[in-house]
Amino acid sequence: MKKIIVIGAGIIGLSISYYLKKHNFDIAVIEKNKAGIEASYAAAGMLAAQSEFDFYEDFMNFCVKSRDMYEDFCREIEGSSGIKAELTNNGFIIPALTEAEEDFLKQKYEWQKKKRFDVQLLDNKELAELEPNISDNIRLALHIKNDLQVNNRKLMEALIISNKKNGVRIIEDCEVRDYIVKDSKINGTKTNIGNFYADVVINAAGSWSSLISQGLIPNFRVKPILGQMLSLASSKKILEKTIFAIMKGKGCYIVPRNDNTIVLGSTMEDVGFEKRVTDQGINGILNNAIQIVPKLKNSEIKEKWAGFRPTTADQFPIIGKTNIENLLLATAHGRNGILLAPITAKAIEELVANGNIIPEIKDFGVERFNNKN
């Protein structure tokens, strides 16, 4: 039986192990902390495959394909675990508060229509009918009908249960410090609690992924980008749809959950591995959100938190082979880790089980950095 180690028990690592276990491999997921408590816990669960993009690029196709896999993905994980991931298909609203934002939305509408995406422009009156609690100051809005959201914490709970139920070992409080390599081929990992041996190692360690055996994989660098977030408690439902906005050049999103909790985010801070929540960051997010949905000012803060987005110099993920035989990478998904879990897991499954590199990941290999300064 082929032995596989997955480094990192976030949504990428646990989605990979879930799919690989279907091939009856012997799989251990090694996690330096507790399973599912880093970026996958800190996320908002937005599957913003269309909303995220200001202009069309090939990467959008990758994101849309993964989003469109989510219904089947959740149905399978829910069936295995008995936990509902609360996948919601109410769509996204992108609002414009200024003339410049209005012009931008019109341009976004035009190119998305040309690409045959299902989008709709809403004037102030149409928006009020759709979402009565949105500010009257919104000049225009773009309705992205097919973008989804999922309760990422519920999904992580479901993935952990499903993996364990299927015989995947999740080893927590175990930090991988180095790879074990012989004759340019992976043999396993060295950790703080001993060595683990395997035929294949898959690094899905997110922001920490390039810290293992630094320099072994040429030009492999991933850095953390901090995001601060908060949630509000509400006694009744304030919104149906996710709000995805740009306020003063910064992202502002408002994500309604099934229990009427509303998740707000987020900052983008290049501060290394300094995880902290600040009054300035939280107040900035909250003030921006209230400009869009004034009723939020009456809601109490339920929770504040922060997490690290694993990011590369070109903002694209790293998925595929390395210069070390049978050492694979599945990391650096940035703001899109939750969104890209299904397609990344399928790509790694195909690579490990059949030796095939699917066309969708051909541009995401780490070797793309070899000719760049």
Say if residue 106 is in the same domain as residue 211: no
Kindly calculate the radius of gyration of the chain based on its CA atoms and give it in whole angstroms.
21
Share of the chain above pLDDT 70, in %: 98
The model's confidence at residue 101, banded by pLDDT at 50, 70 and 90, is very high
Give the range of the structural domain holding residue 247, as residue numbers without chain letter. 223-311
Say if residue 302 is in the same domain as residue 236: yes
Say if residue 15 is in the same domain as residue 136: no
Average pLDDT for the chain: 96
Long-range contacts of 247-251 (CB under 8 A, 24+ apart): 247/97, 247/288, 247/291, 247/292, 248/288, 250/284, 250/288
CATH code of the domain in which 329 resides: 3.50.50.60
Domain final residue, candidates 288, 311, 334? 311
Say if residue 230 is in the same domain as residue 304: yes
User: Is there a domain that residue 69 lies in?
Assistant: no
User: Is there a domain that residue 249 lies in?
Assistant: yes
Say if residue 190 is in the same domain as residue 111: no
Say if residue 187 is in the same domain as residue 136: no
Say if residue 234 is in the same domain as residue 295: yes
- DSSP letters for 111-142: HHHHTT--EEEEEHHHHHHH-TTS-TT--EEE
Predicted local confidence at residue 246, as pLDDT:
80
pLDDT (tens digit per residue) in 319-361: 999 999 999 999 999 999 999 999 999 999 999 999 999 999 9
User: Is there a domain that residue 184 lies in?
Assistant: yes
Q: Is the pTM of this model over 0.95?
A: yes
Say if residue 229 is in the same domain as residue 296: yes
User: Is there a domain that residue 250 lies in?
Assistant: yes
Q: Write phi, then psi, for 17 (nearest 5 degrees).
A: -65, -35
Say if residue 233 is in the same domain as residue 293: yes
| pLDDT value at 284 more than 80 | yes
Share of the chain above pLDDT 90, in %: 97
Closest CA to 83 of 28, 22, 150: 150
| pLDDT value at 263 more than 70 | yes
| pLDDT value at 79 more than 60 | yes
User: Is there a domain that residue 68 lies in?
Assistant: no
- DSSP letters for 126-189: HHHHH-TTS-TT--EEEEESS-EE--HHHHHHHHHHHHHHTT-EEE-S--EEEEEEETTEEEEE
pLDDT (tens digit per residue) in 46-76: 999 999 999 999 999 999 999 999 999 999 9
Q: Span 210-232, mean pLDDT?
A: 98
| pLDDT value at 215 more than 80 | yes
User: Is there a domain that residue 53 lies in?
Assistant: no
Q: Span 229-251, mean pLDDT?
A: 89
Q: How many residues does the chain have?
A: 373
User: Is there a domain that residue 215 lies in?
Assistant: yes
Say if residue 127 is in the same domain as residue 241: no
Domain final residue, candidates 272, 290, 311? 311
| pLDDT value at 373 more than 60 | no
| pLDDT value at 363 more than 80 | yes
Say if residue 293 is in the same domain as residue 228: yes
Say if residue 132 is in the same domain as residue 17: no
Spell out the residues 6+ positions from residue 194 whose beta carbon is closer than 8 angstroms to its own. none
CATH code of the domain in which 307 resides: 3.30.9.10
Domain final residue, candidates 113, 145, 177? 145
Beta strands in the chain (DSSP E): 3-7, 26-30, 46-47, 92-96, 119-123, 140-144, 148-149, 169-171, 176-182, 185-191, 194-197, 200-203, 223-233, 242-247, 250-256, 262-265, 300-311, 318-321, 327-331
Predicted local confidence at residue 371, as pLDDT:
74
Predicted local confidence at residue 339, as pLDDT:
98
Predicted local confidence at residue 198, as pLDDT:
98
Counting the structural domains of the chain, the total is 3
User: Is there a domain that residue 63 lies in?
Assistant: no
